[in-house]
Copies of this chain bind each other. A is one copy, B any other.
């Protein structure tokens, strides 16, 4: 058994050794760029943990972890093009440095390499691994499209349940599938695989609620981001959508006016509104609700509770961070 910090170190040690070919330079420099600017490697570690919950770590879990991490980075490159994002993890985005064409192509070649990695796992579970992976991969794309569709709509037009579903697709199914893929390799039963998946899916949504909460109410010194960054750009978040449900007509009108006019004190005034309609308290409860659902699924997995410790630690790290 390993702690998640040990697993991150083990995973990175082999993942960072893997390299793209030298030529064509522009293509592979673009692909390498996103890998070199880091990332927390949470998804592959979930895959290793899913394996280790049921059995000793198997080489295939590293292989699938590599695939999942590469896929995640592929989505970041293409999402940044779609969102015209200039900065990612404090560095220029791939398309900003190499242009859209090389960035599109770098993402494509990374996605093909994902399947080169998945193709290396043992044939006894290869079909199942690729099936579970593909389901999540397609859902991630669908989530990105729904997110872009929502961006074109007014906040009141977006139903809360649809928003939760979108966040689930865009950010949680890959976490969930990573755990499930690990469980497949570790020999977990189908029922246990499903519990792993549900644990990951709920943790992912709880994490996103917290992320939205910290962007608004977090200590910017600890959180490392500008406070209210989401508010400044009118981003649809759990908080904003819920505010439109909880506010009265006058508050709603004020919120809309602030979103339309961008006064200098916009962030402070939106936060005041959020507090008046108790969106902050709601968010803490809502995060707690998803977190409890996650832990209920983890509890239902019939293995010694000591084996679950690293997963509990990781969930705690993800969901109770102040920074």
Chain A positions within 8 Å of B, measured between CB atoms, are 23-24, 26-27, 78, 81-82, 100-102, 104-105, 107-109, 111-113, 115-116, 119, 123, 126-127, 130-131, 134, 137-138, 141-142, 144-146, 148-149
The 7 closest A-B pairs by CB, nearest first: A82-B101, A27-B145, A24-B145, A109-B141, A119-B130, A112-B137, A116-B134
User: Complex formed: what's the CA distance from A55 to B66 in Å?
Assistant: 38
User: Of B24, B115, B148, which contacts A146 at CB under 8 A?
Assistant: B24
Residues of B within 8 Å of A142, CB to CB, are: 23-24, 27, 109
Tell me the dominant secondary structure on chain A's binding face: helix
Given contacts A113-B138, A116-B134, A119-B127, contact A24 B105 (CB under 8 A): no
A41–chain B nearest beta-carbon distance, Å: 22
A-B contact pairs, 30 of them (CB 8 A): A23-B142, A24-B142, A26-B145, A26-B149, A27-B141, A78-B105, A78-B108, A81-B100, A81-B104, A82-B104, A100-B100, A101-B148, A102-B145, A104-B104, A105-B141, A107-B108, A108-B108, A108-B111, A108-B141, A109-B142, A112-B134, A115-B115, A115-B130, A116-B130, A116-B131, A116-B138, A119-B127, A119-B130, A119-B134, A126-B127
Given contacts A113-B134, A119-B134, 10 further A-B contacts (CB under 8 A): A23-B142, A27-B141, A82-B105, A102-B148, A105-B144, A108-B108, A109-B141, A111-B112, A119-B130, A123-B123
Residues of B within 8 Å of A109, CB to CB, are: 138, 141-142
User: Complex formed: what's the CA distance from A144 to B109 in Å?
Assistant: 11
Residues of B within 8 Å of A111, CB to CB, are: 108, 111-112
Closest to A123 in B: B123
Residues of B within 8 Å of A141, CB to CB, are: 27, 105, 108-109, 112
Residues of B within 8 Å of A26, CB to CB, are: 145, 148-149
Residues of B within 8 Å of A115, CB to CB, are: 115, 130, 134
Query: Which of A78, A127, A141 is the most central at the interface, judged by chain B CB atoms within 10 Å of its CB?
Result: A141
